[in-house]
Amino acid sequence: MAYAAFRSIGAYVPNKILTNEELSKMVDTSDEWITKRTGIKERHIAAENETTSDMGVEAAKLAIERSGIDASEIDMVVCATISPDYFCMPSTATIIATKLGLPPVMAFDISAACTGFVYILGIAKAFIESGMKKNVLIIGSEKLSAITDYTDRGTCILFGDGAGAAVISATENKDEAIIDVHTGADGTYADLLMTPNGGTGSPHDSLEAEAGACFMQMKGNETFKVAVRTLTKDVKEILEDNNVESDSVKHFIPHQANYRIIKAVGDALKMREEQVVLTVEKYGNTSGASIPMAMNDVFEQGNLKTGELMLLDAFGGGLTWGSALVPFSPLKK
């Protein structure tokens, strides 16, 4: 039987930084207010001509280089994004594959908001374990600045841009294998976090209404409560289902949405401070890119070693949620 191994990680962040002080000149807010409620101090913003696929390509190049696998061996590309290059078609994954110079391969996007990276990790695992694919490139890439209303202080303080990518490959060694991926969704909470965007479920009768619908909208307090409850329950279940104690987790890498959510979930799971990975302060919420970006930080700091167990968890619009138990399994050199 083939197993799926997490071979490498890579990330990219744009050069421009938007600080809380700068935001306070745009909307009625302050560094103190933002920091106290979110833990965010700054976020990176893509250049005007920099696309979601451009950022995804940079992260993917690094992940492929670190994987020890030749780019020609990649046989599937999946991109998680809510800010694609084109909202209908073609998929951002297709554009990324072409920009990377890959041979014609299966490529598609998924939309699961902030849970996107966990979803595509599960997709890669399933395709590899079925024997259909051998080396899957997964990418979370977001240009959230393009769909953020910078007159809405409830949302504009939260979001940033960036990308993260990983290579998932077939292995016969069960010790290298991704242990489990849990994912779920509940559309009854869809209105808590959404981008109406003028689709068939939300047509508009004026250009003004259509333009406003392109921005993210969020009910912050309600989202916070549901997120903490759902994430805690899901993570407890994946640990119990796989007979894994929280002490066995070397790196707890949650979606970097809000420090208060991360702390509440970490405390409920009795995670020690050194287990919890935090990057929300410098990147903000980068949706589907946040988990791989955080993981890449740990790797580049020299703190992610072969065989160490990572626990991923995320929650996003949909509502969607997911968790994963993943040993870091780079190819032996």
Contact indicator for 325, 179 with CB cutoff of 8 Å: yes
The Cα–Cα gap between 262 and 260 comes to 5
Instruction: Identify the bridge partners of residue 181 per DSSP, sorted by sequence position.
Output: 324
Peptide bond into 319 cis (omega under 30): yes
Give me the catalytic one of 20, 44, 79, 114.
114
243 included as an active-site residue: no
DSSP secondary structure letters along 156-215: HTTB-EEEEEEEEEEES-GGGB--EEEEEE-GGGGGGEE--TT-TTS--SSHHHHHHTTS
Taking alpha carbons only, the member of 78, 298, 253 closest to residue 166 is: 78
Radius of gyration, CA atoms only, the chain = 19
Contact indicator for 268, 229 with CB cutoff of 8 Å: no
Contact indicator for 287, 158 with CB cutoff of 8 Å: no
Alpha-carbon torsion (256, 242, 321, 37), positive or negative: negative
Give me the catalytic one of 182, 255, 258, 296.
255
Give me the catalytic one of 20, 135, 285, 296.
285
| Cα–Cα separations (whole angstroms), residue 313 to 13, 15, 32, 114 | 21, 27, 28, 10
Q: Give Cα 119 to chain centroid, integer Å.
A: 9
20 included as an active-site residue: no
296 included as an active-site residue: no
The encoded tokens of residue 281 equal 């302060």
The CA-based angle 59-64-66, given to 5 degrees, is 95
The encoded tokens of residue 75 equal 């046989």
Residue 294: Cβ within 10 Å count: 25
Helix segments in 218-258, DSSP class H: 220-241
**Catalytic residue set:** 114, 255, 285
